[in-house]
């Protein structure tokens, strides 16, 4: 595992302040099609419940609710939660993924998209997700790959360094490394899906691609990138049998 820790980040409060500053500016968000793709992977059904950990601007909660789910989100950053709550009032709160004030086995889906690698204690956070996940529920994690051919490989070739996305604490690991972390803390990985680019599922996202020809090229190449060399990895997980049956 590769870790990039900025010198001013020593404890959780330091990270929280950094994310508050980030979300007072442009924040972090992906195309709407990405969130729709995640819901498609999860095969959600109306009436099920979903928790989006580190929800950011709350896009996944928005689309999950539109699909008929009882969806909620929280974020460590009060600034991010405030942005999300403008669109999803009463569905968003400020919270710590390492200590969630949620009852055991409450949600059908627990989702963490590109945030686990930024936490102070990743193992504790995974165990907390397992705790609030129902016995037959699904956990979904998006995590960055150390050996991404269009990410770290390309960046290291140009600069001799690992890519730093500017967030307070960043980690990269391999497909197997992330799987070991998840399975050591109560999950059983059932499927791993690569993420490079997703095909547009809205007209707005179609327009976004058409204005960026290089992104279209990446989209067309994506099917040929091996899973182990993908930019990010999506882990679809169940609770381990001994935990689900306890």
Helix (H) or strand (E) holding 192: strand 187-195
Q: How far apart are CA 246 and CA 236, in angstroms?
A: 21
**Residue where the block lists tokens 């007072």:** 24
**Which CA distances in Å does 34 have to 29, 143, 182, 217?**
10, 14, 23, 17
pLDDT tens figures, 110-152: 999 988 998 889 999 999 999 999 999 999 999 999 998 887 7
pLDDT tens figures, 150-182: 877 787 778 887 887 777 788 899 999 999 999
Q: How far apart are CA 62 and CA 83, in angstroms?
A: 12
> The tokens of 232 are what?
């990010």
Q: How far apart are CA 122 and CA 114, in angstroms?
A: 12
Query: Contact 49/109 with Cβ under 8 angstroms?
Result: yes
Q: How far apart are CA 5 and CA 72, in angstroms?
A: 30
Give the other-Cβ count within 10 Å of 43's Cβ: 10
CATH for 2-244 is 3.40.50.150
- What is the chain's alpha carbon radius of gyration, rounded to the nearest angstrom? 17
Cut 0.75: pTM above it: yes
Domain residue extents for the chain: 2-244
pLDDT in tens, the chain (246 residues): 887 777 665 556 666 666 666 667 666 778 999 999 999 999 999 999 999 998 888 899 999 999 999 999 988 888 887 878 888 878 888 888 888 889 899 999 999 998 899 888 999 999 999 999 999 999 999 999 999 888 777 877 788 878 877 777 888 999 999 999 999 999 999 999 999 999 999 999 999 999 999 999 989 999 999 999 999 999 999 998 766 555
Give the other-Cβ count within 10 Å of 52's Cβ: 31
Q: How far apart are the first and last CA of the chain?
A: 32
């Amino acid at each position: 595992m590769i870790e990039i820790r900025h010198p001013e980040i020593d404890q959780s409060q330091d990270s929280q302040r950094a994310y508050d500053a980030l979300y007072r500016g442009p924040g972090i968000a992906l195309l709407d099609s990405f969130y729709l793709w995640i819901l498609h992977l999860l095969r959600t059904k109306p009436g099920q419940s979903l928790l989006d950990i580190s929800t950011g601007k709350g896009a996944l909660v928005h689309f999950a609710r539109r699909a008929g789910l009882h969806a909620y989100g929280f974020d460590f950053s009060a600034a991010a939660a405030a942005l999300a709550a403008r669109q999803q009032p009463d569905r968003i709160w400020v919270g710590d993924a390492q200590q969630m004030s949620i009852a055991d086995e409450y949600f059908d889906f627990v989702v963490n998209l590109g945030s686990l690698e930024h936490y102070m204690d990743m193992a504790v956070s995974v165990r907390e997700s397992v705790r609030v996940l129902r016995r037959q529920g699904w956990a979904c994690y998006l995590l960055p790959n150390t050996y991404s051919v269009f990410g770290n490989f390309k960046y290291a070739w140009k600069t001799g360094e690992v890519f730093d996305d500017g967030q307070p604490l960043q980690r990269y690991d391999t497909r197997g490394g992330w799987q070991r972390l998840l399975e050591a803390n109560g999950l059983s990985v059932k499927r791993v899906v690569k993420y490079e680019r997703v095909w547009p599922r809205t007209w707005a996202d179609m327009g976004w691609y058409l204005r960026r020809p290089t992104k279209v090229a990446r989209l067309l190449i994506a099917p040929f990138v091996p899973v182990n060399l993908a930019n990010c990895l999506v882990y679809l997980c169940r609770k381990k049998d001994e935990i689900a049956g306890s």
